[in-house]
Structure 1
Amino acid sequence: MSTQPFFPASVYAARLDRASALAAEAGLDGIVVGPGPDLEYVVGVEGDTIERLTALILGPGTAATVVVPRMELAKVRSTAVGDLGLAVADWVDGEDPYELVAAALDTVSRVGVSDALPALHVVPLARRLGVDIELATPVLREGRMIKDADEVAELRRAGAAIDAVHRRVHEWLRTGRTEREVAADIADAIVAEGHRTVEFVIVGSGPNGADPHHEVSDRVIQDGDVVVVDIGGAVPSGYNSDSTRTYVVGSPAPDAAERIGVLVRAQQAAVDAVRPGATAHDVDAAARSVLAEAGLADAFLHRTGHGIGVSVHEEPYIAPGNDLVLREGMAFSIEPGIYFAGQWGARIEDIVVVTADGCERLNVAPHGLTAVG
């Protein structure tokens, strides 16, 4: 778990108040937030769920309380939990932490839980409270979807850091090296260029690039390979980068160069479609229509984008049929791709932030097919 809150206590206090107000609007008597992106966002407590329950309990008319194993107490108090003077109910093995949650909530009929809280805790919690548990995602996502100026600044920092790595890919990507060797060098550079963690490195060469979620393998890179490089990490604040560029080792086949040129136009069309009042579907459709006009609709296998912040993937999702209306401060990826099984794939990805009259693009490394080696 983190031992130092990144933002001032006033930021976390405002997030707590917002979450409580949204819970009231949703008709929830309380929400239980376990370790994961939501807990990190609301009070700056980082870490993963373990078999011992750690949770923030809050809601309308409920004093925010953190239930935590005593062995983790010092770490939790060193975060915004301590700065804000929140009530802490600690427990030791042999005691029932769900009783502490029930005491913090008192009498309830509707309780929501964060989507990262596992069944290991949800089932006994529901049994103890005697109510049906529901997801608090509609409440918690609302705060995380709209980034404030400080959050945008951190995403901007992350975008610049990952752009710096893409500008160095030519140092490592060449004929005769394996994807795994290239990925190891990229991972080192992600940290060297300003990230605290490496969240993922995808190096998909030749036919491996046709798998959107290929990671790395021992395949040896060959002359003429089209290579997808999708990379990201978290900067010290916990906010993430995520950017994809497509490279070619040597010279590309003419049809590959032409199709990737279409992909560049599709990605730009989606960026141009971002503005307050547009829907997530509108942005997705802008990219999809360019590819369809070129006969490449069937090669686009996934949504156009996903939100980003303290989690690499979060709301909003830029996907067909999502009628969510975009608002200023939303941040998400624009990443159409084309994939040809057994041959090659390509993807181009930037993070954008919705502004008053359009969007700010946080990744500016060259977008076209980049020759290396």
Structure 2
Amino acid sequence: MTLEVERLNRLRRTMESLDVMAVLTADPVNVVYATGVRNMTVFSMMGAFRFVLVLAEGPVVLWEFAGCEHLAASAPSVTEVRIAPDLTPASGSRWAESTEGFAREVADLIKVQPFGGRRLAIERFDHHVTDALRAQGCELTSATKVFASARRIKTAGELAAMRSAMDIVTAALETMRDRIEPGRTEVEVWAELHRGLIAQNGELISTRLAQAGSRTFPYFNEAGTATISSGDLFCVDTDAIGPGGYGADFSRTFVCGDRRPSPAQQSIFSMALEQLRHNASLLAPGRSYESFARSAWAVPERFAPYRYYCLAHGLGLTGEPPYIPVHDPSRPFPVSGAFEPGMVICIESYIGDSESHQGVKLEDQYLITEQGTELMSTMPHALTGSSRHKRLS
């Protein structure tokens, strides 16, 4: 069974379990999940240019960007390919007429459903499209929950793709690490990670989280033209999407140049690593998210205002639920559920020091198994990780 068929089968089982017999999505990630057909992923994030209708008991119809229909010709999970109508008012075309015609197409297709063809789960369409579908008698609900539920547990084929992505991204990051040199800019170094990923048929990097020196505090400064100096910390979060659209998400922090880490750098690195390892040790099948959060490593008071916004999150085609927040004893825990075998979870750690104005970002990726966990991101934690220098861990 191919990966595409595996995913479609899981999506349909999830639809049936949620009593949803038809889903319509323009989300480019979920279009890939449902069909396996990749096309202009970044462009498709700008509007509803490609979309797919999946029936639990019926066809899978892909509306593809004009001129690209051949891309789905051999897709085992696609029943029919149609040219996507223009549903975007900003285009200046006859979008209103196109929208009405599209709504009629969808309504006709979902009439084959056992319950009479009215209920439709939908996501990522503008209101004029949903208005047109309702005018055709469709009863709309959200498709986001359907896809999130389906994507939560990974198939065997998905796990193989994620391991392959991890190998590619790890090799690219090792090359990037060895290019962290005084005088280079953040983006010059970060470009090495891109080159290694794209050269191996990877997709993209979804954030710009590569920062050096004083820009490592607070976190979430995007990579820019700042010059790196000897002795600077360099934080990078891969946030990479590899071949087939699967994520490899882990973070490392290095020291630039030949200088050994300062006592302050070594101290916050040690704390970040302790936080990461402690929280990773709590992962277990059946453990509730709330129990995990309650037992998480307590960030020292001095550093607590700058901690990472969540303790852990899911991963698949992108970062995905659950996003597990820090436990607040004064409020009910907002996320229900528990870790399940087949989930891929990323553990986050950041220690930011307001006195030295620098921070350390670490993250690892784990698979939840029946027996416990499997570490997927095996690149060592080392401040001076270059092959030219002695490794400290």
TM-score by length of 1: 0.84
1: CA distance between counterparts of 2:45 and 2:188?
32
The superposition leaves residues 162-211 of structure 1 with CA deviations (integer Å, 9 ceiling, x where unpaired) of 2223333442112222112212233223334x352331453211221124
Counterpart of 2:13 in structure 1 is 21
Counterpart of 1:99 in structure 2 is 104
Counterpart of 1:343 in structure 2 is 357
Counterpart of 2:93 in structure 1 is none
SS in 2 for 1:168: helix
SS in 1 for 2:247: coil
SS in 1 for 2:380: coil
The superposition leaves residues 88-108 of structure 1 with CA deviations (integer Å, 9 ceiling, x where unpaired) of 455767651221111111244
Query: Would you say 1:174 and 2:178 are equivalent positions?
Result: no
SS in 2 for 1:23: helix
1:222-241 alignment, distance < 5 Å:
222-241=229-248
Q: Which of these residues, 163, 181, 193, is aligned with residue 186 of structure 1?
A: 193
SS in 2 for 1:167: helix
Counterpart of 2:324 in structure 1 is 318
Query: Would you say 1:42 and 2:38 are equivalent positions?
Result: no
Matched to 2:37, the amino acid is V
The superposition leaves residues 25-74 of structure 1 with CA deviations (integer Å, 9 ceiling, x where unpaired) of 32334221224122211221223267665433234444443344664432
1: CA distance between counterparts of 2:363 and 2:289?
16
Matched to 2:107, the amino acid is A
2: CA distance between counterparts of 1:60 and 1:185?
43
Matched to 2:270, the amino acid is G
Structure 1 residue 274, shift from structure 2 partner? 1.0
- Contact preservation (8 Å) 1:307, 1:316: yes
Structure 1 residue 87, shift from structure 2 partner? 4.0
* Mean Cα deviation higher: 62-71 or 179-188: 62-71
Counterpart of 1:197 in structure 2 is 203
Counterpart of 1:274 in structure 2 is 283
Structure 1 residue 148, shift from structure 2 partner? 1.8
Counterpart of 1:159 in structure 2 is 166
Query: Would you say 1:255 and 2:269 are equivalent positions?
Result: no
2: CA distance between counterparts of 1:69 and 1:29?
25
Query: Would you say 1:354 and 2:379 are equivalent positions?
Result: no
Gap runs ≥5 in structure 2: 87-96, 327-332
- Contact preservation (8 Å) 2:260, 2:384: no
1: CA distance between counterparts of 2:178 and 2:169?
15
Q: Which of these residues, 203, 210, 215, is aligned with residue 217 of structure 2?
A: 210
- Contact preservation (8 Å) 1:99, 1:128: no
1: CA distance between counterparts of 2:197 and 2:287?
34
- Contact preservation (8 Å) 1:209, 1:345: yes
1: CA distance between counterparts of 2:385 and 2:348?
20
Query: Would you say 1:136 and 2:143 are equivalent positions?
Result: yes
Matched to 2:106, the amino acid is V
Counterpart of 1:80 in structure 2 is 76
2: CA distance between counterparts of 1:222 and 1:52?
44
Q: Which of these residues, 317, 325, 340, is aligned with residue 327 of structure 1?
A: 340
2: CA distance between counterparts of 1:364 and 1:334?
13
TM-score by length of 2: 0.80
1:124–1:39 distance in 2 versus 1, CA, 3 Å: same
- The share of aligned pairs that are identical, in percent, is 22
1: CA distance between counterparts of 2:110 and 2:363?
43
1:259–1:35 distance in 2 versus 1, CA, 3 Å: closer
1:104–1:53 distance in 2 versus 1, CA, 3 Å: farther
- RMSD, matched Cα: 2.9
Counterpart of 1:3 in structure 2 is none
* Mean Cα deviation higher: 274-283 or 194-203: 194-203
Counterpart of 1:4 in structure 2 is none
2: CA distance between counterparts of 1:105 and 1:245?
48
Structure 1 residue 351, shift from structure 2 partner? 1.1
Structure 1 residue 352, shift from structure 2 partner? 0.7
SS in 2 for 1:101: helix
1: CA distance between counterparts of 2:9 and 2:270?
47
How many residue pairs match? The answer is 356
Counterpart of 1:366 in structure 2 is 380
- Contact preservation (8 Å) 1:122, 1:133: no
